[in-house]
Amino acid sequence: MREHGAHHRSVVTRRRIYRIPIYRWFCPRCKHTCSVLPDFLCPYARFVTLLREVVVRRRLQQGRSWRDLAWEISSPAVSVVSERTLRRWVRTVRGIAGTWGQFLTAWLLEQRPAVDVFTLVPRHEGPDAALHFLLALGDWLRRQMPVDPVRHRGLFAFLNSFCEAPAPL
């Protein structure tokens, strides 16, 4: 792979919109170009993954209304985030939570084979059981890791940092 330029992209946080460079790489063997995104972004998304994770957690764990969530993450610098956008974020995470939970469980068992993962997190029933499991496993991981990349970047960014991981959040 060799450098093949860069383009700039807007990234939205709670308080500000940034313009960051996204570097491109060219593979002379297969003649393809790819862009390398930082772990706090996912393809075609303007908002950082930590903000998306906050919405999912507050909706699922605190039962916040869509309107409240939209106002909580909006600011004069960013403008109001659509409730429809928030619903799409939660729907997307619900759709891949099972796959991410399996991936995180496998990774955790490689790191600590003696751990019984299913006794670490409370059991949940219903359509959001996989999502509850994923978030609870992430919370347990946050408490266990000596250096805490999960707390500073968020669980979704931590999961996005794995090359072999499923589709990004």
* Closest by Cα among 161, 39, 19, 157 to 6: 19
From residue 128, how far is each of 58, 66, 100 by CA, in Å?
Answer: 14, 17, 13
Instruction: Indicate the burial class of 19 (C-beta count within 10 angstroms; 0-12, 13-18, 19 or more).
Output: exposed
Tokens of 154: 């968020």
* Closest by Cα among 14, 10, 54 to 169: 54
- List per-residue pLDDT tens for the chain, 169 residues long: 888 889 999 998 888 889 999 999 999 999 999 888 888 888 888 898 889 999 999 999 899 999 999 988 887 777 778 899 999 999 999 999 989 988 888 888 888 888 887 787 778 888 888 999 988 888 888 877 766 655 567 888 888 877 666 677 7
From residue 106, how far is each of 58, 103, 115, 117, 169 by CA, in Å?
Answer: 26, 5, 11, 10, 18
Q: Residue ranges of the alpha helices (H) in the chain?
A: 49-62, 66-73, 83-111, 117-120, 129-144, 149-153, 155-160
Tokens of 104: 């995180």
* pLDDT at residue number 146: 66
Q: Provide CB contacts within 8 A for 163, sequence distance 6+.
A: none
* pLDDT at residue number 20: 94
* pLDDT at residue number 8: 93
Q: Which amino acid is at 151?
A: R
* pLDDT at residue number 151: 57
* pLDDT at residue number 88: 94
Q: Which phi and psi (to 5°) does residue 143 adopt?
A: -75, -25
How far is it, in rounded angstroms, from Cα 117 to Cα 42?
A: 27
* pLDDT at residue number 162: 74
How far is it, in rounded angstroms, from Cα 166 to Cα 96?
A: 8
